[in-house]
Structure 1
Amino acid sequence: MAPPGRPIVAIAADGSSRQTYATARKAAEVTGVPHSTIARGAKSLAKHGAFFFKFDGDSREPVFERAPTITAEDRARAQALFHSLSGKDGKLITELRLSDGFVNATKMCQSATLAEGVEKKFTDFKRLQGTTTYIEALSRKAGYLSHQLVHVGSGGQATFVHPKLAIYLAQWCSAEFAVEVSELVFRYLTGGLTTGESVAAAQEVQQQTTPTPNVPNATNWHTLRQDGIKMYRGKTDAIQDYIAVRSAAYPGEDLSTYYAKVNNLINQALLDFQTSTREYKDLRGIPQNMTIPDMFDGHGQVQRMNVEYLFFKYFTDREDQWACLNPWKAYNDLKELRDKFIRFRSDTGLSDLSTKHMLDVPEAKKRKRERTSIGALEASPALKALLPGPTTQIVNNNTINKYFVRVQSGGVMNAPGEVLEPDPSGQHVICPLTARLDGTL
């Protein structure tokens, strides 16, 4: 743990900026990374979230993430690839996962339905005798078990299939799909997709599928983002506390990646992808030093807080059982919670977060810089000396008394049957985030 008051330097993962904070807690307030994580990470110059952390005066420098160079040829080929794979609605007829070449079968069938005017379902394709025979033959040839050729999505998530099976599926969809998907798969399998072109193609997808934002005003967005950071911090502390208690009770368990796995479920609940967050960002052209919450507009920020709260509540409701709560049983429970939230979004018309409620990359970067500047200004001792002290009473909750979030007055985020009295001044109040959605949705 860092000595009290020792300054911390937060460095952007790509090396584009750095900021010095008086303490780890001050750094946590601005970056959203828990202060205990920052203090531990500074010793080893570790990266957490979108930042590297080190103690002020440490002469070491991190190895920065550098985006591959994108040539004019890369961009031209990427645009051609995008437009050749675009369906009648202007969206891609399918997606290819860069990590293993598997292709989005769900999206392909949906696009074929739109293009052909005849419903195409992957389940119908899969039950065909010819498909069964093809999968068995491909399994023998490729050295896969049959079930490994199809990654079935759960809870409304997409199904991905082996690239060669994707070609067979495309032939079933239509002759046009067969030509375009075959070309895509061939280029992937022969190494014809360069890194630069892949990144350019991802950026093209981001540009074509993300509308120019008619966004709520930036001031309101910054408030929501700050609220989200506080909810994130509460959720993170709850999970890390559970991991600490469980690790003390069962020292032999390897929980080194547990937090990352749980956090990935939250992003999946919001954006319906089946891969890792890193792969999703690669596919959408989102820089790795930007987080998923950085990309959401105001509506997306609220939905992110909803999911964060559900996961937070799962752990805090079981606090007295942490030592005996099996982490993988908990993980499976959280997967079910993820699937419930996906169904909830679908049933209530909120299934468009990834297409209508994400900022484009330049706007997200701009807002992130503004938020960092605002956070540094708010933390300034000189500014604090000019402002009156807080007068708002913090409401304490008898079951959750250490995780608080700033919310708008008027009952925006209140428990069932509990309405916050509106603040005549219109200012924000501090209150416990007790319930936005209950665990049953």
Structure 2
Amino acid sequence: METSKKVAFPLTDIPDHLLSEILLRLPTSEDLARASAVCVSFRRISTDGSFLRRFRRLHAAPLLGFLDRNGFHPVLPPHPSAPAARALDLAADLSFSFLPAPRHWAVQDIRDGRVLLDRRIRQEEFPAVLRELVVCDPLRRRYVLLPTVPDDLTALLEHPVQMVRGVRCKTFLAPLGEEEAAAGEATFRVVLMAHCKTSLTAFVFSSSTGQWQAAASKGWSDLVSSRGDWAAMSQVNPVYLRRHYAYGCFYWDWLMIKSKKLLVLDIRTMEFSIADLPPGEWGREGIAIVEAGEGRLGMFGFHGGIAPSLSYTIALNKGESPSQWQVEKTISQDSGYTYSIIAATERYLLLTRIEASYLENRLLSLEKPRFEYFLMDAETLQLQTLYMKQHCLVYDAYIYINFPPSLLSSRTV
């Protein structure tokens, strides 16, 4: 009787379309990176732009930590992204020493691992709309310098450019549309939103064209019916407004002036609108707009003072301006602490807490307070201690998600 022989079947003989389906089913981006080192075929498929876009749609990007003026703070074990976060911390230059005049740049936003920073041009002479902007890849130490907004666009603002206090601006990175994403991994968009006394204007820079364009404009009186409301809203510097993003729209809240309104910018149509917060008394400790699934918005917010309850409310109907909300869960916090939400993404919240006894006696205390930082996953509602240190609270923190895709091969543009 003849003995059957097993015939080896090389992986390289698998057709590309089947191999790509196999690689798509790897659980994490770290597994994909390891698989890409196996052979030339694996690397060719795993680094293809269309494949990577499909992989990112199927897999959540790794949460790596957060960045503030005290530096980068990676997630810690037992978080599954802790090894990747540690690797980023060791390999990347998150002090941005590779930028020209590195100590004069300030972080404005982080998206998909890229960092947007700005530097004022002779701040005492010019308004914030004239600023130097740079988008950088801190892992590969590459950057792209953006041109300033041209005069023909700034002339659209209601105040002349020479009036320093007439325009307040905030810049941020915008997600790419399907056509832009298909254009390549180097593509990115930057939005500059200018708050004027009677109107809002947004300019958009696209790396595909290398130019700024006027994208949206709306009068405050067209957004808000009450003159008192829009007068108060227009006076708030956008630097101090919390920004949220979900399902193609950016949201800003005015809880700092006790307003129950949200400013909405639909990034797909580039139109401004106003939406209402869910019913209830929301504390100034912050809210977070997140993606609750099935196209519905979710919102985290605090009720109460010391040791407030963190409520999670979900919209019952889809859309950027839902009218019906339902409390999904109330999460009790430890007594004796005051909590705040200081940053959020579509899925994650960054919270901080401080002992309430310090706030009551801070004028008498000689020691710096200890702030504790936590990350919460909006899907699992799990809270993880991330960082604690005795120092001043930093409100301009940015959650760092994903390793950055490559920028242009040149270091500057």
Select the structure that is richer in strand: 2
Does TM-score exceed 0.5, indicating one fold? no
Select the structure that is richer in helix: 1
TM-score range, shorter chain: under 0.3
- The alignment's TM-score, normalised by the length of structure 1, stands at 0.23
- The alignment's TM-score, normalised by the length of structure 2, stands at 0.24
